[in-house]
Structure 1
Amino acid sequence: MAVWGCGSVVVWECGGSDSIKVLEIQVPPRVPTGETVRLGCLYDLEGANLYSLTWWRGTEQFYQFSPSSQEQMTVYDSPGITVDRNRSSRDEVVLRNVSHASAGRYKCEVLADFPSYEKDSQITSMEVIGELLYCVISKKKTMDKSPLAFEYCDSPRLMGVRTG
């Protein structure tokens, strides 16, 4: 099983400003059904402490990390979202077995602790497409006399290529 994502996530802590900021949200734009996905959120707390980092799909919260809480990680039920608790943390959330119900607009929201309780967020979309489909490459000639032709490929699906 492939793991789809955008690489490791780093938490930046720099001085110089008085406002927290989400620098980048890392969500793969297109993934096939059944895959594992890593969601990342790069942020700058500007010297503040983190109160919570939350993930939303649409208007539904599905994950919260609160470092000062006894139970640091909270996972909420949300159709199409299966959080891998063992691989999720402050830095990333791992979703298992994504389906078409997992598609949508994802938001990472960061909230600073007392005294400011400032927050910032970014939103991006993830599309979930049909199963990873391998196309058969035929050696017969096509109408344009090309020696190779793609067969059995469905254009809305993510296509890999395997010679055969």
Structure 2
Amino acid sequence: MELRLATAVALCLFIAKGTLGLHFVNVSVPMYAELHETLTMSCHFELGDDHLYMVKWFKDRKEFFRYSPDHNSRNFAQPGIKIDMSRSDMNTVTLLDLQFNSSGTYRCEVTTGAPKFETLFSNENVTVRALPASEPIITGLQPAYSPEDIIGANCSSPKSKPQAIMAWYLNGKTVDRYSLVYYASSEDEEGLSESVLGLSARAEVTLFPGGGPLELRCTATVQERTWSKTATSLLARLNNQKLAQDDFTNQSGAK
């Protein structure tokens, strides 16, 4: 009896699997794409026993590409969409020369043929960005500072969109906002902006541990990526006797 039951269950599972229709539609696209670059998006699906009638691609609910096994592929004009038809088929669509208005919600819609004409779809978002062309540039920094001098420098990140988030670090510690100089920025014709953050900090002896160099680091962050630039400055006009006296004073004050 148990053997007959197991055989019956296995047979039902086999029949169900054999007659399974369209399922598992999944769009594979990157979260971010780069300005003027090429983007290839994939649409994965299982037809089961059904046959494919049509695959449609939409951006923000407007169709821009259609594939059918029985007809030639078609594309429909839309701002920010330039299709490489030679690299677009049932499972992939390739876009060329991405623009900022190529950003949006992309949907792959799969439809089976008669008699079901079943349709499933999947959505994913893509954001086109422009990353800085290089690491930040530090300007205005002097090779050495005397005690109580003002350390003044600017850190500039090349144009990007979105605009880079800047930060300064002295000896690995974040510089507080009271020692920062903020500059207004403007967009160019493509919507790109340069980012500049100034530094204005007093050259205290404690910033030069053991008389060694002061490490200054600037970072520029765009979304999940960060670029950095590091520079150093020395403490000028500080002889060994004065350094020993300052070290003794600092140690005594810490007790």
Query: Would you say same fold, with TM above 0.5?
Result: yes
Query: Percent identical across equivalent pairs?
Result: 22
Question: Structure 2 CA distance, aligned partners of 1:82 and 1:115?
Answer: 35
- Which residue number in structure 2 is paired with residue 155 of structure 1? 222
The residue number in structure 2 matching 1:74 is 74
Q: CA deviation at 1:95?
A: 0.4
Q: State the 4+ residue runs in structure 1 displaced beyond 4 angstroms.
A: 158-164
From 54, 62, 65, the counterpart of 1:63: 65
Larger RCO, structure (CA 8 Å, separation 6 or more):
1
Q: Which has the higher helix share?
A: 2
Q: Give the match for residue 25 of structure 1.
A: 27
Count of residues paired in the alignment: 145
TM-score, normalization: structure 2?
0.50
Counterpart for residue 51 of structure 2: 49
Q: What is the RMSD of the two structures over their aligned residues, measured on CA atoms?
A: 2.7
Superimposed CA distance per residue, residues 91-147 of structure 1 (whole angstroms, 9 cap, x where no aligned partner) = 200001111111111100000011111010011111111245332476x8x643134
- Deviation, structure 1 residue 31: 1.2
Q: Which amino acid is 1:106 matched to?
A: Y
Please name the residue that 2:200 is paired with.
none
Q: How does 1:7-18 map to 2 (within 5 A)?
A: 15-16=17-18, 18=20
Runs of at least 5 residues in structure 1 that lack an aligned partner in the other structure: 1-14
Offset from partner CA, 1:9-68 (integer Å, 9 cap, x none): xxxxxx445431233210111112111001101101111111111110011100011011
Look up the SS of the partner of 2:87 in the other structure.
coil
Q: Which amino acid aligns with 2:121?
A: S
